[in-house]
Structures are given as C-alpha cells and as structure tokens.
Amino acid sequence: MAMTMSTRLMPGTVPGAHNGGVFLAGEWIWANLGLGGAFVVALLGVTGLGFWVVRSEGKNRRLMELDEQSEAAESLADGHPR
C-alpha cells in the first residue's frame, strides 16, 4: 500500500503499519463522503430539473386546451365552424 507524504514524515513507528504500509482509512472516509455528497447534489439537481420540465409541460398542455376551446367558441359564435 502506498503511504502519503504526511505518514512518511512522522517520526518513529506509525500505528497501524503492516508490512511497510498504512491503511489510509482517514483519507478514504472524507473522499467517500465528498463523492457521496456530489452524487446527492447531482441527484437533487436532476430530480428538480425533471420536476420543473414535467410541471411546465402540464401548464403548456392546459394552455393549449384553453386556446383550442376559445378558438372553437369563437368560430361557433361567428357562425363558421372550423
């Protein structure tokens, strides 16, 4: 296992050293938390974007239906069905 510069500079024996290597649990914990946090932020962003798109699509469909209904009402009022 590779040792970091900070463990090489420590005087004397390093606790947890096995066959000249050190299990770098402290570094992996923070790396794992950071990467997990990045995935959570990405997941929230994708979910929020999807929700926004679906909500906007629903609004657009309702407005199109209202527009079509008003056009149909106008054409019937004019006496000229389309």
pLDDT grade for 70, boundaries at 50, 70 and 90: confident
Instruction: Tell me the pLDDT band of 61, cut-offs 50, 70 and 90.
Output: confident
Instruction: Give the residue, 3 or 62, on which the prediction is more confident.
Output: 62
For residue 61, the tally of other CB atoms under 10 A from its CB is 10
For residue 17, report the phi and psi dihedrals to the nearest 5 degrees.
-80, 130
Helices vs. strands in the chain: H and E counts, helices first? 2, 2
* Residues in CB range of 24: below 8 A, 6 or more apart: 1, 3, 4, 7
Q: Which two tokens stand for residue 75?
A: 């054409």
| Strand runs labelled E in 1-82 | 17-18, 21-22
